[in-house]
Amino acid sequence: MSTMAIPSLCLFLLFSLFIGQAVVQLEASHHVFQNLETSQPVSESEPYRTGYHFQPRKNWMNDPNGPMIYRGIYHLFYQYNPKGAVWGNIVWAHSTSTDLVNWTPHEVAIYPSQKSDINGCWSGSTTMLPPGRPAILYTGIDPNNKQVQNLAVPKNLSDPFLTEWVKSPRNPLMAPTVINQINSSSFRDPSTAWLGPDKIWRVIVGSQINHKGLAILYRSKNFVNWTEAKHPLYSLEGTGMWECPDFYPVATESVHGINTSKVGSSIKHVLKVSLDDTQHDHYTIGKYDIFTDKYAPDEGQTQSESGLRYDYGKFYASKTFFDNVKHRRILWGWINESSSQEHNIKKGWSGLQAIPRKIWLARSGKQLIQWPIVEIEKLRINPVHFPSKILEAGSVVEVKGITASQADVEVSFKIPKFEKVEVLDPSWTNPQLLCSQKGASVKGALGPFGLLVLSSKSLEEYTAVFFRIFKDHEKYVVLMCSDQSRSSLDATNDKTTYGAFLPVDPVHKKLSLRSLIDHSIVESFGGGGKACITARVYPTLAIDDAAHLYAFNYGTEKINIASLRAWSMKKAHVN
């Protein structure tokens, strides 16, 4: 297809508006993939389709890209295959919202149209240039399947929905070279850029050399001409390819989010990378030196598989943005399927997004806290409240009065006695392995206790989200698990059990659990968001009105339910 013609004067004015120090023409993105969606119908009553999570009407979706707020409108771009329910033909799809809950789809924002992206428009980020002009940096795949970095900007700044984007003819702006020794298949996913005190922009790109993970640093005065720094922002041996890097500041004395370019004495920085080897998102908290452009994790923190994770279940390729209207940082994450590719093709879709989460630094300064955005609570209806209740050993209590397949549940537990608590074996250092060995059916003293969600009436199927408590010398250790081993009678599904150690003192604090249940996804938040576990499950019996919700205690010691509140959730208007 031919390039859309734009008068040279308009191009001059357009680019001058965005990039004040450079005068460069832009070309429009073709609509190469216009109307190429599969014709296979998707049933709205399909039992595993979610009611209030973000997903396109059909086909494949993966990484969230370039989330932002512009003129009071939230924007989410995402990796999308307009031709089917498997990965391929990747473009940037686009939806907007006024509340982060209900979403309106728009035409695909970025399509292959240049030599620098003709084989795909892969992940990237949006940066707000002063005084609030969005610019997208994204990875393009060129004719030689080399990964390069490109620029696109809105065609019309007066359009709050930003439905048309144009690309720089100078693309690619960043490319791997023989000199920097970067493999052309390991150079992708530019982060949101930040502006230093010297008025120079910085951005990082994920990469690896000889299995050393790299956050390659580039600098630019005008957002067009980028120069690679002599050293990466940070790197670590043995961690493999770093995908979707995210680098942002967090306040040490407030739960409010701050602008990505903010620096100061009451600020720490977070580096998140998605480890391609394990498909997990890991982050560290540390110090960013604005003079040397180097990042150093705090003592005890590591960017490796043994380090901190946003989510200890299915959660990958995440991206944050600063919501300058409500002064918060919002986290998005892609949740892939646990069913077979054949099943995904049959149902006509694959992938969804986790509920957006507000994210901030814990008081300890040693980890991040995550919590579902408050806007999701407006979907709550038909509240159910349990008064304080004792869960005897081996007991199961049904939570009635809600739609258990589409619900929001908050429960807190109080431990009356600790005398018979199990001793933590020194070799039990892997929480996921420990949860798989001591699942919901394995009795302990204090645990397992928690929730049985998406459960059949007679408990042939359920997903168990629960706690178990151990004694480790003079302190207690809380294990949080999401056990999918009995989540479905369909043996073809991935039914991995997930786990995390929850940094909460059960002697002085109640153990709280919140689970967002939505047909085929269960997002669970322990300890007020100190540990998060997301699961994809596909029950064969516990579907729609046949799903049940239970509180349970399979331990040998009684547990107190301090409080339990549950709501049915209305269906959101999503695409």
pLDDT in tens, 345-386: 999 999 999 999 999 999 999 999 999 999 999 999 999 998
* 63 is known as an active-site residue: yes
Same domain, 332 and 397: no
User: Is residue 52, in this structure, part of any structural domain at all?
Assistant: no
pLDDT score of 473 more than 60: yes
Same domain, 363 and 396: no
Residues 460 and 543 sit within 8 Å (Cβ to Cβ): no
Q: Can you read off the two tokens belonging to residue 437?
A: 């060995």
pLDDT score of 37 more than 50: no
d(CA 414, CA 450): 12
Phi and psi at 156, nearest 5°, equal -135, 105
Average pLDDT over residues 136-140: 98
471 forms bridges with which residues in the sheet? Answer: 423, 476
Q: Can you read off the two tokens belonging to residue 103?
A: 């979403």
Q: Check residue 9 and give its pLDDT.
A: 35
Residue 355 maps to which CATH number?
2.115.10.20
Same domain, 399 and 368: no
Residues 168 and 24 sit within 8 Å (Cβ to Cβ): yes
Phi-psi region of 189 (alpha: psi -120 to 50; beta: other; left: phi over 0): left
Same domain, 500 and 357: no
pLDDT score of 550 more than 60: yes
245 forms bridges with which residues in the sheet? Answer: none
160-176: per-residue pLDDT in tens?
A: 999 999 999 999 999 99
Q: Can you read off the two tokens belonging to residue 429?
A: 């250092």
d(CA 150, CA 220): 14
Give the up-direction half-sphere exposure of residue 73: CA atoms within 13 A in the CB hemisphere.
19
Q: Check residue 22 and give its pLDDT.
A: 42
What domain range is 555 assigned to? Answer: 381-569
Q: Check residue 44 and give its pLDDT.
A: 54
Q: Is the dihedral of CA 169, 170, 171, 177 positive or negative?
A: positive
Q: Which residues contact 504 (CB under 8 A, 6 or more apart)?
A: 478, 511, 526, 527, 530
d(CA 287, CA 290): 9
Cα 413 off chain centre by: 28
pLDDT score of 413 more than 70: yes
Instruction: Read off the pLDDT band of 17 (50, 70, 90).
Output: low
Percent of the chain with pLDDT over 70: 92
User: Is residue 208, in this structure, part of any structural domain at all?
Assistant: yes
Provide the b/e sequence for 131-152 (b: ≥16 CB within 10 Å): eeebbbbbbbbbeeebbbbbbb
419-446: per-residue pLDDT in tens?
A: 999 999 999 999 999 999 999 999 999 9
User: Is residue 559, in this structure, part of any structural domain at all?
Assistant: yes
Same domain, 282 and 402: no
- The total number of structural domains in the chain stands at 2
Q: Where are the beta strands (DSSP E) in 336-405?
A: 349-350, 352-353, 357-361, 368-372, 380-386, 389-391, 395-398
pLDDT score of 5 more than 50: no
pLDDT score of 23 more than 50: no
Average predicted confidence (pLDDT) for the chain: 92
Give the CA dihedral 376, 381, 385, 391, nearest 10 degrees: -70
DSSP state of 14: H
Q: Is the dihedral of CA 180, 183, 185, 190 positive or negative?
A: negative
pLDDT score of 28 more than 90: no
* Pick from 171, 126, 117, 168: nearest CA to 145: 117
Question: At 346, which helix (H) or strand (E)?
Answer: helix 341-347
Q: Check residue 87 and give its pLDDT.
A: 96
* Pick from 135, 132, 28, 120: nearest CA to 82: 120
User: Is residue 433, in this structure, part of any structural domain at all?
Assistant: yes
User: Is residue 40, in this structure, part of any structural domain at all?
Assistant: no
pLDDT score of 35 more than 90: no
Per annotation, catalytic residue among 63, 142, 246, 281: 63
Q: Check residue 20 and give its pLDDT.
A: 54
263-308: per-residue pLDDT in tens?
A: 999 999 999 999 999 999 999 999 999 999 999 999 999 999 999 9
Same domain, 325 and 226: yes
Average pLDDT over residues 454-465: 98
d(CA 137, CA 324): 20
Q: Where are the beta strands (DSSP E) in 19-120?
A: 27-28, 59-70, 73-81, 91-97, 104-110
Same domain, 412 and 366: no
d(CA 457, CA 541): 9
53-82: per-residue pLDDT in tens?
A: 999 999 999 999 999 999 999 999 999 999
Q: Give, in order, the Cα–Cα distances in Å from 160 to each of 36, 164, 242, 321, 325.
A: 26, 11, 33, 18, 15
d(CA 135, CA 137): 7
Instruction: Read off the pLDDT band of 177 (50, 70, 90).
Output: confident
User: Is residue 76, in this structure, part of any structural domain at all?
Assistant: yes
Average pLDDT over residues 412-424: 96
Q: Can you read off the two tokens belonging to residue 229?
A: 């720094």
488-507: per-residue pLDDT in tens?
A: 999 999 999 999 999 999 99
d(CA 508, CA 410): 19
499 C-beta neighbours (distance < 10 Å), count: 25
Q: Which residues contact 39 (CB under 8 A, 6 or more apart)?
A: none
Q: Check residue 169 and give its pLDDT.
A: 95
User: Is residue 65, in this structure, part of any structural domain at all?
Assistant: yes
78-137: per-residue pLDDT in tens?
A: 999 999 999 999 999 999 999 999 999 999 999 999 999 999 999 999 999 999 999 999
Question: At 431, which helix (H) or strand (E)?
Answer: helix 431-437
pLDDT score of 448 more than 90: yes
Based on the number of CB atoms within 10 Å of its own CB, is 339 exposed (0-12), middle (13-18) or buried (19 or more)? Answer: buried
Average pLDDT over residues 11-24: 47
Residue 507 maps to which CATH number?
2.60.120.560
Same domain, 366 and 401: no
Same domain, 179 and 129: yes
d(CA 511, CA 309): 20
Q: Check residue 178 and give its pLDDT.
A: 65
User: Is residue 138, in this structure, part of any structural domain at all?
Assistant: yes
pLDDT score of 387 more than 80: yes
d(CA 160, CA 166): 16
Q: Check residue 418 and give its pLDDT.
A: 95
Percent of the chain with pLDDT over 90: 90
Residues 209 and 181 sit within 8 Å (Cβ to Cβ): yes
d(CA 525, CA 370): 8
Same domain, 216 and 320: yes
Q: Check residue 55 and give its pLDDT.
A: 97
What is the maximal distance between C-alpha atoms in the chain?
79
Same domain, 114 and 209: yes
H helical segments located in 132-274: none
Same domain, 518 and 553: yes
Which residue shows structure tokens 């009356």? 416
Average pLDDT over residues 191-201: 97
